[in-house]
Chain A
Amino acid sequence: MRALLTPLAGAAGFVALWWLATWLRVADPVLLPSPAETWRDTARALQDGPLWHDLWKTVWRTVQAFVIASAIGVPLGLALGARERAYRAVEFVVDFFRSTPASALFPLFLILFGVGEGTKVAVAAFGAALVILFNAAYGVINARRTRVLAARVMGAGEARILWDVLLWEALPQILVGMRAGISLALVIVVVAEMFIGSTDGLGQRVIVAQSLFESGLMYGVIFLAGALGYLLNLLFLVAEKRLVHWGGK
């Protein structure tokens, strides 16, 4: 109970500070509306505005990007990790593009995929795939050697070892990569929704609300995007705990 109460108290404190700031008129009310106003505007947009649709579009794009990224990153990472020399050969390239801000790649992806749905998903998938690949490869590289030897002694061939041992040994690291990957995909999708010919999505809604001086709604959408990111992260933390039951033991 206490574990839940402390963060709730922190959140309540944050809202109280916010409320105090508006009450003291620290900023122009047009720029900083009160918590109550933000809540009212956001609830209205959810009820009869396009906000549910925007939220759904952002989730759907992020999930698509994540699924594509996992489908590429996990098998490729496992295969490269199993051949460490092959991984060392591509490590620099992976690291380089992993460190490149994905937003810098927007123009390139616009040329490749055109102005549309595909581009947003593709950029996000690209960024997330590199993170997942990197983690999967390291999971395999750091696999306990004794377990690999044990499987070999018991007559497992290389393919069997990859499937029966390395995949499991890498699973904790793969899930860490997936968690980082889906967070990154969300970031890229929201930015892409702002700048790559969009008509919907949370990113689009934030920037439209800002340009129309609908500050209450703007803050609301920001919090909605934050809640989405937080929930996705939480989902993967729970999945890690349940799937990797042997972790840390």
Chain B
Amino acid sequence: MRQGQGAAIAPRDAAITVRGLRKAFGGQPVYSGFDLDVRRGDILAIFGPNGCGKSTFINMAAGLLPADGGTILYHGREVRDVRIGYVFQNYREALFPWLRAADNIRYPLKRLGLPRLEIERRLERLKAGFRVRFDLQRYPYELSGGQQQLVSVMRALAVEPEVLFLDEPFSALDYETTLDLRTLLQDVLKRLGVTTLLVSHDLEESIALADRLLMLTRRPTTVADDVAVELPWPRTSATLSEEGFVTLKRRCLAVFEAAVAGRA
């Protein structure tokens, strides 16, 4: 197991600090003493085979699932004291279909108790930031899949989160929509500098969106490789065929085949 750049992050630059994380399901350990540091403003992609506990990890990090032991701290604070945004894989089941798209985005802002003017200001800013051209007065089920997931992303970013969690956000979308949404998302995330945890089972997507890629093994989960993705921003669909990208992908694929798939 390579420690990668994790250990090199100075404490004041670390947005997320994970120490000795433990979690087991039915006596089967998924994490037994997992450590991780994530640098502020980084997009960290977590890639691994199905069942390796990627989603378990971000659910624990987002406070949706209790850990059996260890700590996950955000600048020393527990997750409940941190403003977070979370984008679920299944937008159909994550948006509120009884609210219009705009009201879905307003919902977390109302929970924060922001004044109405501020809520409308943020909504307008998000609309401009994501270049929204469809009608947000529609209900979610009247929108396409890509539009619905975009609304989910806007809802998650509306609270101006310190950390954003993306749980396979594009896996239910077609390729063309995925490319569009990916470009849009990286623009906004890089501009806002939001620390982001992205869980994905798509290697191309993980590399294209990430500053750093964490490759996990099968259970019990360890880090197979910790890869710095130093490709220039913005990354477009052209990036996907550039040499740097292809080389990196080839290397990651080799790691995946060797360690992750356990065929070594």
Binding site for B on A (CB under 8 A): 144, 146-147, 149-150, 152-156, 160, 164-165, 168, 171, 245-246, 249
B60-94 CB contact bits vs A (8 Å, 1 = yes)? 00111000000000000000000011101010011
Asked whether B34 is an interface residue with its Cβ less than 8 Å from the other chain, the reply is no
CA distance A152 to B165 in the complex (A): 14
From B64, B95, B139, B140, A153 is in contact (CB under 8 Å) with: B64
Tell me the minimal C-beta distance from A98 to chain B in angstroms: 28
> Which residues of chain A come closer than 8 Å to B155, judged between CB atoms?
154
Tell me the minimal C-beta distance from A93 to chain B in angstroms: 32
Judge whether B86 and A246 touch: CB under 8 Å.
Answer: no
Judge whether B111 and A245 touch: CB under 8 Å.
Answer: no
Known: A160-B111, A164-B96; 15 extra A-B contacts, CB below 8 A, are A146-B88, A147-B96, A149-B64, A149-B86, A150-B95, A150-B96, A153-B63, A153-B86, A154-B108, A154-B159, A155-B111, A156-B111, A168-B96, A168-B98, A249-B97
Asked whether B112 is an interface residue with its Cβ less than 8 Å from the other chain, the reply is yes
> Which residues of chain B come closer than 8 Å to A249, judged between CB atoms?
97, 141
B204-216 CB contact bits vs A (8 Å, 1 = yes)? 0000000000000
From B84, B88, B96, A165 is in contact (CB under 8 Å) with: B96
> Which residues of chain A come closer than 8 Å to B93, judged between CB atoms?
144, 146-147
Identify the 8 closest CB pairs spanning chains A and B, nearest first.
A246-B97, A154-B108, A249-B141, A146-B93, A155-B111, A153-B86, A144-B93, A168-B98
> Which residues of chain B come closer than 8 Å to A171, judged between CB atoms?
98
Tell me the minimal C-beta distance from B184 to chain A in angstroms: 21
Interface members, chain B 93-120 (any A CB < 8 Å): 93-98, 107-108, 111-112
Judge whether A246 and B98 touch: CB under 8 Å.
Answer: yes
When C-beta atoms are compared, the residue in chain A nearest to B83 turns out to be A155
Could you name 22 residue pairs across A and B whose Cβ atoms are closer than 8 Å? A146-B90, A146-B94, A147-B94, A149-B64, A149-B86, A150-B94, A150-B95, A153-B64, A154-B107, A154-B155, A154-B159, A155-B108, A155-B112, A155-B159, A164-B96, A164-B107, A168-B96, A245-B139, A246-B97, A246-B139, A249-B97, A249-B141
B160-191 CB contact bits vs A (8 Å, 1 = yes)? 00000000000000000000000000000000
When C-beta atoms are compared, the residue in chain B nearest to A247 turns out to be B97
When C-beta atoms are compared, the residue in chain A nearest to B62 turns out to be A153
Judge whether B86 and A150 touch: CB under 8 Å.
Answer: yes
> Which residues of chain B come closer than 8 Å to A144, judged between CB atoms?
93
> Which residues of chain A come closer than 8 Å to B94, judged between CB atoms?
146-147, 150
CA distance A119 to B85 in the complex (A): 54
With an 8 Å Cβ cutoff, the count of chain B residues facing the other chain is 23
> Which residues of chain B come closer than 8 Å to A165, judged between CB atoms?
96
CA distance A168 to B107 in the complex (A): 15
Interface-central residue, B62, B94, B98, B139, by most chain A CB under 10 Å: B98
> Which residues of chain B come closer than 8 Å to A146, judged between CB atoms?
88, 90, 93-94
B229-247 CB contact bits vs A (8 Å, 1 = yes)? 0000000000000000000
> Which residues of chain A come closer than 8 Å to B88, judged between CB atoms?
146, 149-150
> Which residues of chain B come closer than 8 Å to A155, judged between CB atoms?
108, 111-112, 159
Interface members, chain B 131-173 (any A CB < 8 Å): 139-141, 155, 159
> Which residues of chain B come closer than 8 Å to A164, judged between CB atoms?
96, 107
CA distance A199 to B32 in the complex (A): 76
Tell me the minimal C-beta distance from B257 to chain A in angstroms: 33
Interface-central residue, A160, A168, A246, A249, by most chain B CB under 10 Å: A246
CA distance A246 to B85 in the complex (A): 25
Judge whether A154 and B111 touch: CB under 8 Å.
Answer: yes
Tell me the minimal C-beta distance from B166 to chain A in angstroms: 12
CA distance A240 to B74 in the complex (A): 45
Tell me the minimal C-beta distance from A163 to chain B in angstroms: 12
When C-beta atoms are compared, the residue in chain B nearest to A156 turns out to be B111
Tell me the minimal C-beta distance from A167 to chain B in angstroms: 10
Tell me the minimal C-beta distance from A196 to chain B in angstroms: 42
CA distance A32 to B96 in the complex (A): 56
CA distance A166 to B65 in the complex (A): 20
> Which residues of chain A come closer than 8 Å to B84, judged between CB atoms?
153
When C-beta atoms are compared, the residue in chain B nearest to A149 turns out to be B64
When C-beta atoms are compared, the residue in chain A nearest to B158 turns out to be A154
